[in-house]
């Protein structure tokens, strides 16, 4: 059996706060296979985003190993890390905060192509047009400023930027949480299409089990920095075993379209 695309083991990150040490991430282990979607679920403060930041080495762990594409990710020096980051991309919840709002769409997409020496200057406008088309946008959008386009378009741009460097893994941190429901569905569909065609793996961070059950293969549920349970997404969400898994399932808004609801008082 070949090694997984990403293998995280014993990952731990502690913070000191008010004289006390708090483990934001506590002995967390999981793996992601190529082309697979692993969801990281949990309530606010469970450590989901800290895991994402550790994976991108925006912060360094206190303990644990991260192996990515068969190599020790944590021992990469700055130069090697920069090169490796082309293969491990990130999409955030709010693309307006992630990009310079005054920058043009073309500029935002040009940066990764230039920085990672993916295309020569003369070729880049072509590449940008192709990327826009790839995420379902018109090439005419290239000249627009980030702040002028809609939230859904912006998230498509964020995805286009992420795939520009031909990554094998994209970390999506609450990437569809701020979108309208109809736009959210389109973005999820786009992610699935890209995954099928390019065999990109996703680490999909979300507190929304509805979204997770729709697009994830497997799920890891975190609670207070530790793994509470993990397994096949539909199986875990269908029959959660941990207290936090049960609480998340119970709290998810449910829509019963066949019988009456809502009007009944349940005090």
Partner 1 sequence: MTALLSIRDLTVTYRHDGREVAALNHVSLDVTAGERFAIIGESGSGKSTLALAIAGLLPGSSKVGGSIEWKLPNLRSPHAFAPPSVLPSLPKLGISPTRGEIGSSVAGTPPAALEFGESGNDSAISPQVGEMSGRTEGGATDRQPASLRDHTPLGGRDIGFVFQDPSASLDPVMAVGEQIAEVAHTHLGLTWSQSYAKAKALLERVRLPDPDAALRAYPHQLSGGQKQRVAIAAAIAAGPKLLIADEATSALDTIVQAEIVALIRQLVAEDGMTLLFVSHDIALAADLAERIAVFQHGELVEFGATAQIVASPRHAYTRALLDAHLGLDAEPLLRQAGALR
Residues that bind partner 1 (CB under 8 A): 35-37, 43-45, 151, 180-185, 188-189, 192-193, 195-196, 207-211, 213-217, 234, 237-238, 247-263, 265-267
Contact indicator for 87, 167 with CB cutoff of 8 Å = yes
Nearest CB to partner 1, comparing residues 29 and 195: 195
Length of the chain: 267
Closer residue to partner 1, CB minimum distance, 78 or 265: 265
Single out the residue of 169, 175, 203 nearest to residue 68, CA to CA.
169
E strand or H helix at 154: helix 151-163
CA distance 88 to 68: 9
Structure tokens, 104: 């043009």
Pairwise CA distance, residues 8 & 135, whole Å: 30
Least separation in angstroms between residue 223's CB and partner 1 is 11
Q: How far is the CB of 183 from partner 1 (least distance, A)?
A: 8
In angstroms, give the least distance from the CB of 185 to partner 1: 5
Task: Give the closest residue to 127 by CA, choosing from 154, 161, 83, 167.
Answer: 161
For partner 1, the closer CB: 33 or 69: 33
Backbone φ, ψ for residue 62 (5° rounding): -85, -25
Q: How far is the CB of 25 from partner 1 (least distance, A)?
A: 17
Identity of the residue, 111 or 148, whose beta carbon is nearer to partner 1 in the bound complex: 148
Minimum CB separation from partner 1 for residue 215, in Å? 5
- Location of structure tokens 């990469």: 76
Question: Closer to partner 1 at the Cβ: 44 or 79?
Answer: 44
């Amino acid at each position: 059996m070949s090694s997984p695309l990403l293998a995280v083991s014993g990952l731990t990150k502690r913070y000191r706060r008010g004289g006390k040490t708090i483990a934001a991430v506590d002995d967390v282990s999981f793996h992601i296979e190529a082309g697979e979607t692993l969801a990281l679920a949990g309530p606010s403060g469970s450590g989901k985003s800290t895991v994402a930041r550790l994976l991108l080495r925006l912060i360094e762990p206190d303990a644990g190993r991260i192996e990515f594409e068969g190599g020790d990710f944590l021992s990469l020096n700055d130069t090697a890390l920069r090169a490796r980051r082309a293969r491990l991309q990130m999409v955030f919840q709010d693309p307006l905060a992630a990009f310079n709002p005054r920058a043009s769409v073309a500029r935002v997409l040009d940066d990764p192509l230039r920085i990672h020496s993916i295309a020569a200057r003369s070729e880049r406008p072509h590449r940008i047009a192709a990327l826009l088309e790839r995420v379902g946008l018109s090439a005419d959008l290239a000249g627009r400023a980030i702040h002028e386009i809609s939230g859904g378009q912006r998230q498509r741009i964020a995805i286009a930027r992420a795939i520009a460097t031909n990554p094998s893994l994209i970390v999506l941190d609450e990437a569809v949480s701020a979108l309208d429901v109809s736009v959210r569905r389109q973005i999820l569909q786009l992610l699935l299409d890209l995954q099928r065609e390019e065999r990109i793996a996703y680490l999909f961070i979300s507190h929304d089990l509805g979204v997770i059950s729709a697009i994830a293969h497997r799920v890891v549920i975190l609670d207070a920095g530790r793994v509470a349970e993990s397994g096949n997404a539909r199986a875990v969400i269908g029959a959660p075993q941990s207290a936090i898994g049960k609480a998340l399932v119970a709290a998810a808004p449910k829509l019963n379209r066949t019988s009456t609801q809502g009007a009944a008082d349940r005090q």
